Structure 1
Amino acid sequence: MRRSKSAIIISSSSLLSLLFLLDLILSPNLAIGSKRRVHVPDELDDVIDDEEDEVWKQWGMKSKPSHDSFDPPPLDLLESNPYAFEAEMLKRHSGPSIGFVKLQPGVRRSSDKVVEIARKWSKLLKTGSVNARFTGFDPNTVMYTMESGQDITELKEFVLSQPEAYEIKIGEQIYRRPGDPPLDEFIEKLRSEHKADDQVSKEETGYLKDEL
């Protein structure tokens, strides 16, 4: 009986020791690989975050144009062949573009006729995969808008191939058919011709009256 009691006492003490060790092992502070909880306070008014990343700073901001992306043609080309230099400048044009086309002077047009011309040009360019839109501006002018300035060369060639157009302005440059004078000179020439015709008509009318 003494042996059985001592065995029971030893077993009880061993069980207590085992429970104590298990408690230590399973403790959150001593367990291997356990994650400690982080307490985040509700009051964050005094917290200063000076590590704002660049992505957040640029969020919603418009991208600034890169001045290094423009690659102008060599100036030697300007001296040797100005027309080739001009063509290369047009090819390097990028971004949206807005400009005006002057119609042939000396022709009387209604506003409906100008709108009809603008619509016809818009449809013709769309079939050529050039994204441009024409709008009637006044009896002598059509306005154009383009999303991609890289098609500006095709636009210029198209406009100058149309019989209703006299010149097109792209930026600060004005383009006409080879041999055509500036618009103001051409208008002055037309006025002089009309005055001469009127004078001839008056002289012929007076001669007929004298004959009668």
Structure 2
Amino acid sequence: MRRSNSAIIISSSSLLSLLFLLDLILSPNLAIGSKRRVHVPDELDDVIDDEEDEVWKQWGMKSKPSHDSFDPPPLDLLESNPYAFEAEMLKRHSGPSIGFVKLQPGVRRSSDKVVEIARKWSKLLKTGSVNARFTGFDPNTVMYTMESGQDITELKEFVLSQPEAYEIKIGEQIYRRPGDPPLDEFIEKLRSEHKADDQVSKEETGYLKDEL
């Protein structure tokens, strides 16, 4: 009887010890449980992070042009010195630009000649670090394209320094050498001179016939 009672006592104490250990293991306040490893999945496509800052949101996005960034020159400059006003407007020009250059009128040239002029101008500007490209448009016109409008002043000065060019149109503005009349007036002047030359030629031909 003593052995059976002691066995019962031992089994009861073992059961209590086991319950105590289980309670410790399953306790949420246990220090070991508080240091559980966090598993981060490799696939994060479905994870939504609403705490992105503005810098991250704008990174990689194309900047939108601001209408307030354009700072036109003062109107007083337009009244006092229109040429200086135009120069300041050209300096403030930004973005890509496209336009046309009218060649000297009264000169007969083939389409190959126009292409040759366009290529020559493109090479010359490239050596001057101005990113512009010229293309033959018709026997009297060369078209230009440029990515950065900030170089438009250099483009205008270059074109007007070339003997083949008469005027260049940038936006709605037309630029010529100082003292040159508008293209229409110059063409009309050439036609009048051509008619006068034809009349003189006819008179000289008639005079020679009379002499004979």
TM-score by length of 1: 0.80
Residues in 2 aligned to 1:85 and 1:45: alpha-carbon distance in whole angstroms = 55
Judged with a 3 Å threshold, the aligned counterparts in structure 2 of structure 1 residues 208 and 129 are, in CA distance, closer, same or farther, namely same
**1:124-154 C-alpha deviation (Å, 9 max, x unpaired):** 0000000000000000000000000000000
Gaps of 5+ in 1: none
Residues in 1 aligned to 2:18 and 2:131: alpha-carbon distance in whole angstroms = 83
Q: Per-residue deviation at 1:13?
A: 1.9
Residues in 1 aligned to 2:71 and 2:43: alpha-carbon distance in whole angstroms = 54
Judged with a 3 Å threshold, the aligned counterparts in structure 2 of structure 1 residues 211 and 128 are, in CA distance, closer, same or farther, namely same
Contact kept, 8 Å, 1:98 with 1:144, in 2: the verdict is: yes
Q: How does 1:150-189 map to 2 (within 5 A)?
A: 150-189=150-189
Q: Per-residue deviation at 1:66?
A: 1.2
**1:34-93 C-alpha deviation (Å, 9 max, x unpaired):** 499999999999999999998999899865421011111111111111111100000000
Residues in 2 aligned to 1:156 and 1:44: alpha-carbon distance in whole angstroms = 54
Q: Per-residue deviation at 1:17?
A: 3.5
Residues in 2 aligned to 1:180 and 1:43: alpha-carbon distance in whole angstroms = 70
Which shows bigger deviation, 191-200 or 47-56? Answer: 47-56
Q: Per-residue deviation at 1:9?
A: 3.3
Judged with a 3 Å threshold, the aligned counterparts in structure 2 of structure 1 residues 190 and 35 are, in CA distance, closer, same or farther, namely farther
TM-score by length of 2: 0.80
Judged with a 3 Å threshold, the aligned counterparts in structure 2 of structure 1 residues 148 and 23 are, in CA distance, closer, same or farther, namely same
Q: Per-residue deviation at 1:6?
A: 5.7
**SS of match in other structure, 1:33:** helix
Q: Per-residue deviation at 1:5?
A: 7.4
Judged with a 3 Å threshold, the aligned counterparts in structure 2 of structure 1 residues 76 and 207 are, in CA distance, closer, same or farther, namely same
Equivalent position of 1:44 in the other structure: 44
Provide the alpha-carbon RMSD of the alignment: 5.0
Quick one: percent identity of the two aligned structures? 100
Contact kept, 8 Å, 1:29 with 1:36, in 2: the verdict is: no
Residues in 1 aligned to 2:145 and 2:124: alpha-carbon distance in whole angstroms = 15
Contact kept, 8 Å, 1:168 with 1:174, in 2: the verdict is: yes
Which shows bigger deviation, 11-20 or 27-36? Answer: 27-36
Which shows bigger deviation, 43-52 or 65-74? Answer: 43-52
Number of residue-to-residue matches in the alignment: 212
Judged with a 3 Å threshold, the aligned counterparts in structure 2 of structure 1 residues 50 and 7 are, in CA distance, closer, same or farther, namely closer
Equivalent position of 1:133 in the other structure: 133
Q: Per-residue deviation at 1:169?
A: 0.2
Residues in 2 aligned to 1:152 and 1:42: alpha-carbon distance in whole angstroms = 52
Contact kept, 8 Å, 1:25 with 1:31, in 2: the verdict is: no
Residues in 1 aligned to 2:133 and 2:80: alpha-carbon distance in whole angstroms = 35
**1:1-20 C-alpha deviation (Å, 9 max, x unpaired):** 97997699369626633543
